[in-house]
Structure 1
């Protein structure tokens, strides 16, 4: 099968023929119809994450936001059949540990990260293997296209989990989103659907235009005045919830600094080699005003039905955020564009 293989960090992927995945007894093989191209792929392509023992290997297939059709099923799989249309989470749970059984499969201690670990080759390929498929292969509702689910990718799912579950966003809350790439735009769209008021921050006029289209009530140019002061002004005292969707020290600090009393910061963006996983924070201020700082990684597979139900009902439209569809030989160019912050909304590989 054709796949885009990471040979050297930061260098073009090698689009070549590789062996198709074999099906484990507990797994399925999926014919990939679409796969999102995410900033987390960019981090892996650049070789980031060594400081957190989280560096993707070389001679490896990236890609962690696939959707497609099941073409092979292991003999121990009970709930998935050939021909089923499925989405695949990047945070693959074992389905049997305490975390998975208690609804927290995204933090499974025996889990794998699709497209980031040697044991779980990714989906910048014609086919991908999904282990523990009864737990990890999510059936698609009728009428939901694989491209639209790939647009969900980890970005929509992570943004939904971050806002709905970790930060408990409610109607009328002010939500600030720092960075309007794929996950940031998803957060804007989701916060709007949850009934929140949204202030979106970016340094790109095009990104702010997309954020406005996605439901932002206010857009703030990060190149202008002090971002926390702007947010405090437009929200009448600060954001109830603020998300750093980019992972830079500046956006993380701005996100914490723009909160109102007892506000919640949620960290979604991963840091680069400039921060190496460490960001200075105003801990005394956080203590004085009882500010919460929480992280969010993916979404538990057991809660995917909440998000897919909103899409099926028409409350969320991930397809509206798709800025570009590309072929396998264009993925390297789109990863390089992320270095220059030149991507267009959500970008998706389609076959």
Structure 2
């Protein structure tokens, strides 16, 4: 099969022929119909993830059709249209049995622990707890964006951040995760403040429900407080500077939700965290069993993740698009069609 192969961190990957994945007991192999290009893939390519072993195939946001079914997998057949969370949980540990597959200690992540979906085929382990059947009218490009950015934002905003109507939510970073958070929080009736350095991204944020947009600067916190301060802040980028601004922008007893990865760590103003009784919340993906609520909202038109897709590229265009994330994040979501 053709795949995007990383042979050296930070060096442009190449598209080449590699062996197809072999279906294992309890797993399936998917023919990849669409896969998202995410900043997490960039982090992996840059060597920020210790689980990656070179040579490596990135890609963790995916949708496709089942091409092979392993022994012990029931209820699924070749040709079924599916997606999967980027966290493939084991299904049998204490966390999984409690319904918390997103923090499974035995999890496997395509594109990190093993070869991912920047390829024509990809394996999905522990199929019984990780496959999500797609609605017949949902296209693969839309479904691919659900597995990481949109599903992650849905859980972060709705289930972890518990955003409710009337709250003021400041979203820092309007890439795929941030724009998803804007759309989801707006659908819940929140007043959205979107912050980014990219004017095009801020324009999209307004289209997806942001009431206020702020071009990130040294005055960002002051501008948020002029609007009344935030009940909830979301770091959808992953930056020490953003974290500090997000905490400073909160009203007393506000909630901060951290989605963006922080590979270099972060320094917290613990005094402010205590004195203002702020809450710091981490959110990491969403388990397969939680998808139906999100899919129902998409089906009835309350959420429109397909609107986030601004670019579709081929495998051959993927290495350059991955490298381009070093200097800028394009507005909206980029989807790859192998």
Q: Distance in 2 between matches of 1:216 and 1:166?
A: 20
State whether residues 261 and 291 of structure 1, in contact with CA within 8 Å, keep that contact through their aligned partners in structure 2: yes
Unaligned runs of 5+ in 1: none
Please report how far the alpha carbon of residue 95 of structure 1 lies from its aligned counterpart in structure 2 after TM superposition: 0.8
Partner of 1:259: 250
Match of 1:203 in 2: 197
- Could you say what secondary structure the match of 2:316 adopts? helix
- Which aligned segments of 4 or more residues in structure 1 are displaced greater than 6 angstroms? none
Partner of 1:111: 107
Does residue 144 (structure 1) correspond to residue 138 (structure 2)? The answer is: yes
Given that 1:6 and 1:60 are in contact with CA atoms closer than 8 Å, whether structure 2 keeps it comes out as yes
CA deviation digits over 1:130-186, x for unaligned, max 9? 011111111011201110011223011111111111111111111110011111111
Deviations 1:188-237, CA, capped at 9 Å, x for gaps: 111111111100000111111011111101000103x5211111111x2x
Distance 1:196 1:84 in 2: 37
SS in 2 for 1:33: strand
Shift of the alpha carbon at 1:16?
Answer: 0.6
* Separation in structure 1 between the aligned mates of residue 299 and residue 97 of structure 2, nearest angstrom: 26
Contact 1:35 1:153 in 2 (8 A): no
Q: Is the alpha carbon distance of 1:25 and 1:342 closer, same or farther for their aligned partners in structure 2, counting shifts above 3 Å? A: closer
Counterpart selection for 2:321 from 334, 341, 344 = 334
Q: Tell me if 1:231 matches 2:224.
A: yes
1:219 aligns to what? 213
Computed over aligned residues only, the root mean square deviation of the Cα atoms, in angstroms, reads 1.1
The TM-score, its normalising length taken from structure 2, stands at 0.97
TM-score scaled by structure 1? Answer: 0.94
- Where do 5+ consecutive residues of structure 2 fail to align? none
- Separation (CA, whole Å) in 1 of partners of 2:315 and 2:132: 24
| 1:47 has 2:47 as partner | yes
Deviation at 1:55, TM superposition (A): 4.6
Equivalents in 2 of 1:324, 1:309: separation in Å?
Answer: 25
Q: Any conservation in 2 of the 1:48–1:55 contact (CA below 8 Å)?
A: no
Shift of 1:341: 1.2
Supply the distance in 1 between the matched residues of 2:306 and 2:12 (Cα, whole angstroms): 28
Matches within 5 A, 1:1-351: 1-49=1-49, 54-117=50-113, 120-223=114-217, 225-234=218-227, 236=228, 238-272=229-263, 276=264, 278-351=265-338
CA distance in 1, matches of 2:46, 2:96: 31
Aligned residues: 338
Question: Is this contact kept in 1: 2:175–2:329, CA < 8 A?
Answer: no
Measured after TM superposition, the shift of residue 84 of structure 1 is: 0.9
